[in-house]
Amino acid sequence: MRSNHVDVWVLGTAQDAGIPQLGCSCTHCAAARRDPLHERIGASLAVVDRMEGRFWLVDASPHIGRQLDGLRSQFADVEFSGLLLTHAHIGHYLGLAFLGREALNSCLLPVWCTPRMAAFLKHNQPWRQLVSLENIEIHEVSPGNPIPLSEHVTALPISVPHRDELSDTVAWRLRGAEASLVYCPDIDAWEGEILHWIRECDIALLDGTFFTSDELPTRDRREIPHPPIEDAVERLDTLGTIIRFIHFNHSNRLLGDPEALTWLQKKEFDISHRGDRWRLA
Ligand SMILES: [Zn+2]
Ligand SMILES: [Zn+2]
């Protein structure tokens, strides 16, 4: 018998490239190569409605195969029922490629995304082929308008400011009868409408790409303006929601520095881990 719950599961917690990062031999990447316990795969969530026997993914990470296998090992009898996308950076949509005929060969799998993200997928190969071969069926969503995933859970896209060379970006709020969760893995600054939704939800999984602003001395910060966790903690402290950071770059000090993690936890924030789970209904 199925249990009567809707849960959100964390399937991965790393920035787009994962940890270890290709071509990098920093201490965090070296540790992850030595010991899978230190490995982190691309940020992604599953929403599992066991009342209806269905699940949805939020973002299609490059590690989607392992993520779906992991989910299947927990739930043999739930049907993959669609995908919600945040934006067109590699960690968030490359996994769509594995829905095609070389791999899963899905049939009209619903994909919800903004009109700009939809245009990107419809007009560029190999994504265009997923549409023409009917592996996926794109549903355009307008930020601010919730969509029902099932009788028990709705998904609301929320516009957020983020590098928009290929698409715009949304966060997603997932809401069930018992709780709601905001997922915002990429953002350029903690400002605007998203603050309202973080305050309003029970749990928020937020962009924790960098711990400090000086982690990547060789890159121009204007190219990668994620708000560092050090600053985010001050900015988000007053919002009164349980906050877990996600989407860690391999350089993030929190991954290998117990003092930094203790500092974060004393402030009543924490980092997320693959397998974290919250009940929505
Ligand atoms: Zn990202
Ligand atoms: Zn991004």
The answer to whether residue 69 sits within a structural domain is yes
17-50 residue pLDDT tens: 999 999 999 999 999 999 999 999 999 999 999 9
Domain span at residue 184 reads 6-279
Q: Is residue 84 part of a domain?
A: yes
Residues 6+ apart with CB under 8 A from 245: 205, 206, 207, 208, 229, 232, 254, 264, 269, 270, 271, 272
Q: Is residue 229 part of a domain?
A: yes
Q: Average per-residue pLDDT in the chain? A: 95
What CATH number did the domain enclosing 242 receive? Answer: 3.60.15.10
175 C-alpha to ligand 2 centroid (Å): 23
In sequence order, the 6+-apart residues with CB closer than 8 A to the CB of 90 are 16, 17, 62
pLDDT (0 to 100) of residue 1: 47
Please identify every residue whose CB atom is under 5 Å from ligand 1, which is an ion. 16, 89, 91, 186
Q: Residues 7-20: pLDDT tens digits? A: 999 999 999 999 99
Q: Is residue 122 part of a domain?
A: yes
Of all ligands present, the nearest one to the C-alpha of 42 is 1
Asked, for residue 221, whether it belongs to a domain, the answer is yes
90 falls within a domain: yes
Ligand nearest to the CA of 117: 2
Mean pLDDT for 156-171 is 96
Share of the chain above pLDDT 90, in %: 91
Total domains in the fold of the chain: 1
Instruction: Tell whether the torsion through CA atoms of 46, 120, 154 and 15 is positive or negative.
Output: positive
Q: Is the residue at 1 inside a domain?
A: no
Ligand nearest to the CA of 160: 2
pLDDT in tens, 135-150: 999 999 999 999 999 9
